[in-house]
Amino acid sequence: MKRILAWISVALLLGLALTACSKVTQADEDSNGQTVTLKSGETLRLKLRGNPTTGYTWHLGDFDSSVLEQSGDPAYRADTLLTGSGGTYTYEFKATGSGTVTLDFSYSRSWEEGTPPYKTFTLTVVVE
């Protein structure tokens, strides 16, 4: 009887743990110009290709942080250990309130003011 009760307890705890996990929506450069929909509490993980050794980096414009909150600084992971190789920047955002925000990124060099960005990325996020 104790064993059965122990297994039921484990199953219930596992079920609760899985329920607590929030959904993660993935987006990348193929999502440029598109719209994604999240529910409050869910996470958006955005991956953008880049190469900081060239001086270029992604710059995120202002957005309404009462709807979507950036979770820390972006992480960068190089494709290889070779100097000068490109890689991927990973941004994470958490849906905190209902509304619509547009994430506008520009890929540019910070010292080249007045020069158009090399490329841009836009993603509209609707939080229900």
pLDDT of residue 22: 77
pLDDT confidence tier of residue 83, bands split at 50, 70 and 90: confident
Rounded to an integer, the average pLDDT of 45-63 is 97
- Classified as helix, coil or strand, 82 is coil
pLDDT confidence tier of residue 25, bands split at 50, 70 and 90: very high
pLDDT confidence tier of residue 29, bands split at 50, 70 and 90: very high
Could you say which of 3.10.20.30, 2.60.40.2020, 3.20.20.70, 1.20.1530.20 is the CATH number of the domain covering 23-127? 2.60.40.2020
pLDDT of residue 65: 95
Distance from C-alpha of 16 to C-alpha of 10, rounded to nearest angstrom: 10
CB-based contacts of 21: which residues, under 8 Å, 6+ apart? none
Is the model's pLDDT at 20 over the cut of 60? no
Rounded to an integer, the average pLDDT of 64-89 is 94
The b-or-e profile of 74-99 (16+ CB within 10 A means b, else e) is beeeeeeeeeeeebbbebbbbbeeee
- Classified as helix, coil or strand, 52 is helix
Distance from C-alpha of 92 to C-alpha of 104, rounded to nearest angstrom: 14
16-25, 76-85, 87-96 — most confident range: 87-96
Cα dist from 95 to 33, 58, 118, whole Å: 19, 21, 29
Q: List pLDDT tens digits, range 57-73.
A: 999 999 999 999 999 99
pLDDT of residue 17: 47
Q: Quote the pTM value.
A: 0.80
- Domain positions in the chain are 23-127
Exposed/middle/buried for 124, CB within 10 Å: 0-12, 13-18, 19+? middle
Q: What is the rounded radius of gyration, in angstroms, for the C-alpha atoms of the chain?
A: 19
pLDDT of residue 7: 60
